Chain A
C-alpha cells in the first residue's frame, strides 16, 4: 500500500509525532511546556527530542526566562515537510480503512 510506505518511521512514535504537531501549531515551545503537554518524563521526552534534532526535524535554542535557563524547540522546514507527508499518509490510511468498512 502506497500510504503505508509514505509513513515516516521517525514520526510513528507517539511522543515524536505529538511534539511535531504541537510545534507546528505553536511555533516555539519550551521543554517544560512540551513535557506538560505530552505528559512525558524528562528522560523519555529528552531522548525523543534528541532523535528529532539529530534527524534535522527540529531546532533548539537556549535562552533565559526570568533568570531560569530555558530550551526552546522549533519545527524545521524539513520537519514540517516530513510532518505534512506523514499526516497525508495517515489521512489516506484512514480514508482507505473507512472505504473498506
Chain B
C-alpha cells in the first residue's frame, strides 16, 4: 500500500534535488572573457573604427569556438553530458553569428553610413543576449536589456563615445554576472 505522506516526502526530495542544480547556468570564465572582448570591441568604433570589423571577425569567431570548447570541457568535468543542450547553445550563437555577418551587408554595399550601420550590431547583440538570457542563462538577460537600452540611446541621442560607454557598461555587467555565478558555484561546493 502506498503511503501518501511518504509519496509527498519523496516528491519534495526529488523536486528539491532537481531544482537545486548547481550546474544550471554559465561558466564564470566565459562571462569574464566576453566582458573583456565586448568592452574592447565596443571601444574600437570610437577610437580606431577601421580595426573594429577585423577585431569582431577574429574575436567573435575565435571567442565563439573557445567558448564552445570550454563549455563542453566544463560540462564533462561537472559530470554532465547533454548533447541536446549543447545543440541549443550552438544553434543560438550560430544564428547570432549569421545575423552579425548580415549586419555587414548594408555597410559593404555603401547603402548605410558607418555610424548608422554600427547601431545594427548593437541591436542584434541586444536581442541575442536577451534571448540567451530567456532560453539559456538568466544573467545574460540583463546584459541584453542593457544593450537594447544603449541602442535606443545611440539612435535617439547620438552621445559622444556612446559605443565606449556601452561597451564598458556591458563589460561590467558581464563581470558582475561572472562573479555572482562563481560565488553561487562556490557556495554549492562546486569547483568553479
Q: Which residues of chain A have a CB within 8 Å of any CB of chain B? A: 4, 7, 12, 14, 17-18, 21-22, 25-34, 36-39, 65-66, 70, 72, 90, 93, 97
Please classify how large the interface on chain B is, using the bins under 10, 10 to 19, 20 to 34, 35 or more. 20 to 34
Within 8 A of A (CB), among B12-33: 13-14, 17-18, 21, 23
A-B contact count (CB 8 A): 60
- Chain A contacts for B21, CB-based, 8 A: 37
30 residue pairs bridging A and B, Cβ less than 8 Å apart: A4-B2, A7-B2, A12-B10, A14-B13, A14-B14, A17-B14, A18-B13, A21-B14, A26-B81, A26-B82, A27-B81, A27-B82, A27-B83, A28-B80, A30-B81, A31-B79, A32-B79, A33-B78, A33-B79, A37-B17, A37-B21, A38-B17, A65-B77, A66-B77, A70-B79, A72-B81, A90-B11, A93-B2, A93-B7, A97-B4
From A17, A29, A32, A66, B81 is in contact (CB under 8 Å) with A29
Assess whether B186 is interfacial by the CB under 8 Å rule. Answer: no
Q: How far is the CB of A40 from chain B (nearest CB, A)?
A: 10
Cα distance A31–B79 in the bound complex, in angstroms: 8
Q: Which residues of chain B have a CB within 8 Å of any CB of chain A? A: 2, 4, 7, 9-11, 13-14, 17-18, 21, 23, 76-85, 189
Q: How far is the CB of B81 from chain A (nearest CB, A)?
A: 4
Q: How far is the CB of B69 from chain A (nearest CB, A)?
A: 14
From B9, B10, B18, B76, A22 is in contact (CB under 8 Å) with B18
- Chain A contacts for B82, CB-based, 8 A: 26-28
